[in-house]
Every structure is written in C-alpha cells, then in structure tokens.
C-alpha cells in the first residue's frame, strides 16, 4: 500500500532536465570506473568519426554504446556480488550507489522527480519504520531472494536480491518509503539536501532519504503504524539489506547536521554531491564524512580459552569481545594490544594478530576491524605455542595424583591437555573505568551456554546478537575449534597406535560428543566419577565429570550416564571408560567446590584433573575456590 502524507510537494517546482545521451542509452547509471571507460570510448569514437565520415561515426557510436553498456553491466554485477557475498551485518548494501553521478545535480534532480523515485524520511539518527506483516516476515527470513525494496511499504519497490545467510533472523521491521519521492512534502531541513542513496539494480528506481524538520517529524508517525526508531536499535530487527541502507541514510543525515559550520572558520557550509560532501563558504574547502576506525578482537589463551568482558551499563549477563578506537600514530595491531591491556591487563603477542573481517558501524561513523589475537603466556611465550606437551603429566600432578593416573588408566596426554593449558593463562584484571568484569571462558562451556540461551544459561549469560562482528568472531572461533583435532586426540591415537586416517577423519565437522556437557553435577555432598567418552567411529574423545546427590553408589552414576548416551546415540558408537571416582562438596551460593576421597569400586580419580574440568565449567567461580584433596572418603 502506498504510504503518503498530504502536504505541499518537495521539489515540485524544480525544472525537469533532459538526461545525457549516454544515460538515455543505458538503463542503469555507470559506476566511476565504467563511466571513465565509457567516456574514453566516446572520445575515441568522436575522433574516428571526424576522419571516416558520417557512416563510420554511426557505426562507432553503436559500438561504443555497446561496449560502455557492457562495462557498466560488469561493474554493477561485481558490486552486487560483493554486497551479496558479505556475511557481515550492515555491509549488504542493496543498491547501486552510482557514486559517479552524484556530482551531476541536474541528473540527481531528474531522478528525484521521476515517478518511480522512492524516498524514506529520516530525523537525525532516527528512521521511520513500520511492522512487517507476518507473511512477509516469514518469506524474508526463509528465502534468499527477498528484497529490501519489495519488503518496504511502497508498491513501486523493485526486486533486489538479498544474500542467503546461514542464520537469517526474521525481519520484524521495514523502512517506510514514499513513492513517488515528490509526494513527501512536510517541512524539510534545508541544511540537509535530499540524500541520494543509489539506484535499484533491477529496475533502476532512484532511492533517496530526506531529513525532515524536528517539528514535523512526529506528524509523520502513526500512519499505517509507522513510528520513529534509532537506526541502531531498529537495524537488528530488519533484513540485512534494509539495515545497511537505513544505517547509511541516518549516518549521512547526522553528519550533514553536524557539519553545517566549518570547524575552523565557523563559516556556513553548503551541501555537495547529494549530501556526501560539503563546501565551506569562506575557504571553499571541501568537507567529507569522517570514518572512525576501531578494533574489535577475540583474544585466545592456548587452543581452548577465550577472553570476554562486560561493561557495567550492559544488560545482565552480556559478555563480548574487547574493542576500542585507534589513537593518532597507531597501527591497528598496536591499538589492539593497547586496548586489550587497558581493559583487561592481559598482554597480547603482536605476531599472533590475524585479520578476520571489517564491519561498517555508522552510529554515527565507525568502522569496526575484527581480529583474532593470542595472549602471551605467563612464562612470556605465546599462549598459542604453550602447548600441553610443554610439561609432562608427572610434573603437573601430586604424588597421589600420579598413583591415581597409573591405577585408573587415564592417559598422560589427557592429563597434560587439561592441566597444561590453563597453567599459562594470564589472570585478567578489569581496569577501573573500562570494564566491570573480564574473564577467561573455555570453549566447551561457551558452546554449551550459547546452546542453552540466556534464559537457561548461568547468570543469564549471552553474547551480542548475530548482527554484530563480536558474534562472528566468537562463533567463528568455536566452529574452527570444533573442526580441528584436539591435541588430546592426536596424542591418544599415537599412544594407542591408531592409524592417522581415524585421527584426520575426526576433524571433519561436529561429532556427537559436542552435544554431551563435559560437567554435570548437583549441589551439596555427593559421589562423582571421572569418565572418558570415546566415539569409536572417529576416535575422538573427551573427559566427563558426573556427580549426583541421589546416587547411592558410584556405579549408579555410570549406568545413568550410559543410559543418556544410548538415547543420544542408539548406534552405540559412544563408549564410556571409568577413570576413578570420589566425592564432591558443592555450595553454589558460596561458589565453592571441594573434590576429595575415592571410589571403592573404581579407585580414586585424578582429582587435579577433575578440579581443572570444574574450573572450565564454572567460569564465574574463582579458581582458588575449587580445591582438591585425596584425603577422606
């Protein structure tokens, strides 16, 4: 349904201009590169016509027109591929920006007055949105061919393909569009010209944004349920292409409002290039929207841990990657190391910094640059190189632990992998004025907590939504870890003489063991067993801690766990080995756990390993509050 407001027309008295011949011949505007090549072709054709006569001129013009159109089409197709292939939110810009045509004021005015021109009102950082109909929302979330234009309110919208996403959220909001653009006639802020956003790639329909005056903004809300929202808050509830388009519209409008006067001379500035630049009236100096680069990074410790923090003003339970702006004279890598040290007290190894992706964040004008980085180990080396084999299991265990290791059959590689990795983690210290809390999270617990959701996860734990670069960094790291063969598996195969083909096959994708929580214990005082879960089809394995207050015997815990695995894997490829047992005293209200004693049936477990696994699974407990002892029963 066409959404309109009945006021006087904007630009209705502007003269119509005839399109240049090249633009008449081409159904789409040329990109900068295509336009330059087209002009060279036309110049060559003109020179040739002077030498060869009228008939030769006609042939040359036809050939030049065809070549220019082909170049333009290739440029548009490449731009569309780049937009559609991007998996980063706010980067799926759905329109041909047609940047080369912005300087042609006559052409832009003609596009604004065109009957298929579409316009969206903005008010500073706010955009006008309406609720998407359920049928349209379902379609946009399930189909890769949904378009930002067709999902909008106007019936004249063109079909613009959106990229297929592995996790496409359901679009709940859509921007309000007016078509034709000249129908919107409320008072427009004269400091901001109609902002030319680009042309639909399929139909060529021009798209604009107009900054409406604050006094008139509220009069636009209410029709068809339209309401004003900040582009930042509305973006996650929109389709990726709509979110990218509205972020540019609001960011550009905010910049034009902020740049009405030159910062040095104080003179008024005049908008140029359809709002993408301004000119100082006294110095004639050009001003352009500033982009503030910022780093965002997931810091890892060893192969199994990552560093996350939270600010006090964030919602309860929310943790994210560390981030910050660049300072003058800094490289991206140096800014990363400084920000991580300032916010967490953790030192990063600069050679480990690896670029992942960038994300436009025009709220109002940032560019997030994402990295992975490895924390330096406590011994000064890179934590990524401080493998579990750097210290043998004998050095990591007490005398009783060594005896238990020999009696229960736990493998030395398993002991080294569990105890060796966390020995080198720098203790994070939240810096005053920066972060409320910063701590290490083990990948197994992090994967489990994200599967539970914030309502079921301990403390309401959650990370930023999938629209954020932080989400991509965290989930990308978890996926990489799942697809790699843990050092424990490799060493276990070497010790048992297994062939390498079984080890390599375990690296392919997710295995069923990822669906089994590593720790499952009750509160109070109860018996526990340490178990090894092995997938006989791939050879992958992991250690489990199971404890139940209702279990009279350690064997009851074993049998109950076997029953759970049988339901998960009826084929029976998941097998359990008992590695001893003992008792656990767990006071959740005090965040204290004590591991001690032994099992009469299975012998004592290696309690140091059990305590380390519990530290992984209870990241909000202080490491010193999880203790072990071989005394007692």
What residue numbers does the annotated binding site cover?
527
Question: Catalytic annotation on 554?
Answer: yes
Binding residues for substrate: 527
Burial class (CB in 10 A: 0-12, 13-18, 19+), 318: middle
Please compute, for residue 450, the number of CA atoms within 13 A of its CA located in the half-sphere on the CB side. 18
Q: Which of 207, 262, 442, 554 is catalytic?
A: 554
Strands 322-325 and 292-301: antiparallel
Q: CA nearest 466: which of 280, 235, 301?
A: 235
C-alpha to C-alpha distance for 609 and 189, rounded to whole angstroms: 67
Q: What is the DSSP string of 550-563?
A: T-SSHHHHHHHHHH
- How far is Cα 30 from Cα 26, in angstroms, rounded to an integer? 8
**352/478 Cα distance (integer angstroms):** 18
Taking alpha carbons only, the member of 215, 35, 209 closest to residue 108 is 209
The angle subtended at Cα 96 by Cα 115 and Cα 80, nearest 5°, is 135
Element (H, E) at 373: strand 366-374
Tokens of 380: 């000064």
Is the bond into 364 cis (omega within 30 degrees of 0)? yes
Nearest CA to 175 out of 129, 133, 134 is that of 129
Q: What distance in Å separates the CA atoms of residue 269 and residue 231, rounded to the nearest whole number?
A: 26
Q: Strands 574-587 and 592-596: what pairing?
A: antiparallel
Are 250 and 231 within 8 A, CB to CB?
yes
Q: Which two tokens stand for residue 74?
A: 């290739």
Which residues form the catalytic set?
A: 554
């Amino acid at each position: 349904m066409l959404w309109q407001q009945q006021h006087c027309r904007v630009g209705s008295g502007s003269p119509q201009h005839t399109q240049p011949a090249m633009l008449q011949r081409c159904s789409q505007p040329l990109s900068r590169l295509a336009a330059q090549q087209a002009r060279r072709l036309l110049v060559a054709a003109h020179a040739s016509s002077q030498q060869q006569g009228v008939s030769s001129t006609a042939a040359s013009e036809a050939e030049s027109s065809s070549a220019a159109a082909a170049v333009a089409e290739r440029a548009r197709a490449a731009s569309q591929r780049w937009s559609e292939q991007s998996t980063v939110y706010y980067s799926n810009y759905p329109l041909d920006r047609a940047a080369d045509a912005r300087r042609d004021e006559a052409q832009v005015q003609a596009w604004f007055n065109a009957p298929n021109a579409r316009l969206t009102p903005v008010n500073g950082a706010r955009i006008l949105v309406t609720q998407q109909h359920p049928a349209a929302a379902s379609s946009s979330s399930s189909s890769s061919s949904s378009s930002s234009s067709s999902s909008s309110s106007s019936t004249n919208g063109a079909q613009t393909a959106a990229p297929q996403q592995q996790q496409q959220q359901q679009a709940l909001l859509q921007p309000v569009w007016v078509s034709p653009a000249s129908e919107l006639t409320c008072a427009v802020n004269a400091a901001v010209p109609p902002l030319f956003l680009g042309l639909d790639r399929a139909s060529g329909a021009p798209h604009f944004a107009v900054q409406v005056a604050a006094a008139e903004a509220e009069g636009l809300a209410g029709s068809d349920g339209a309401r004003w929202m900040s582009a930042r808050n509305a973006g996650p509830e929109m389709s990726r292409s709509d979110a990218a388009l509205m972020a540019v519209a609001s960011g550009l409008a905010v910049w034009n409002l902020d740049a009405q006067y030159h910062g040095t001379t104080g003179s008024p500035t005049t908008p140029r290039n359809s709002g993408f630049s301004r000119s100082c009236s006294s110095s004639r100096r050009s001003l352009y929207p500033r982009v503030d680069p910022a780093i965002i990074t997931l810091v890892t410790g060893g192969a199994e841990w990552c560093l996350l923090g939270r600010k006090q003003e964030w919602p309860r339970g929310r943790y994210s990657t560390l981030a910050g702006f660049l300072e003058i004279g800094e490289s991206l890598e140096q800014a990363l190391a400084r920000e991580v040290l300032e916010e967490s007290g953790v030192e990063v190894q600069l050679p480990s910094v690896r670029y992942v992706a960038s994300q436009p964040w025009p709220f109002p004008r940032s560019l997030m640059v994402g990295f992975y980085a490895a924390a330096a180990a406590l011994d000064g080396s890179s934590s990524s190189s401080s493998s579990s084999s750097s210290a043998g299991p004998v050095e990591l265990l007490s005398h009783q632990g060594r005896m238990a290791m020999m009696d229960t059959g736990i493998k030395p590689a398993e002991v080294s992998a569990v105890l060796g990795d966390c020995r080198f983690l720098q203790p994070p210290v939240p810096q005053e004025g920066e972060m409320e809390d910063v701590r290490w999270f083990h990948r197994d617990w992090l994967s489990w907590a994200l599967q539970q959701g914030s309502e079921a996860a301990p403390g309401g734990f959650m990370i930023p939504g999938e629209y954020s670069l932080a989400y991509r960094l965290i989930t990308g790291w978890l996926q990489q870890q799942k697809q790699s063969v843990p050092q424990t598996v490799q060493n276990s195969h070497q010790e048992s003489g297994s062939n390498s083909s079984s080890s390599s096959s375990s690296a392919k994708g997710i295995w069923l063991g990822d669906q089994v929580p590593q720790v499952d214990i009750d509160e109070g005082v109860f018996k526990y067993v340490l178990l090894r879960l092995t997938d006989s089809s791939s050879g992958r394995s992991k250690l489990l801690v199971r404890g139940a207050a209702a279990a009279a015997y350690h064997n009851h815990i074993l049998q109950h766990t076997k029953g759970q695995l049988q339901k998960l894997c009826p084929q029976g490829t998941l097998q359990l080995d008992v590695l001893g047992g003992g008792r656990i005293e767990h006071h959740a209200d005090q965040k204290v756990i004590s591991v001690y004693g032994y099992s009469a049936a299975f012998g004592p477990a290696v309690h140091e390993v059990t305590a380390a696994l519990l530290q992984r699974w209870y990241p909000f407990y202080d490491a010193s509050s999880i203790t072990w002892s071989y005394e007692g029963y």
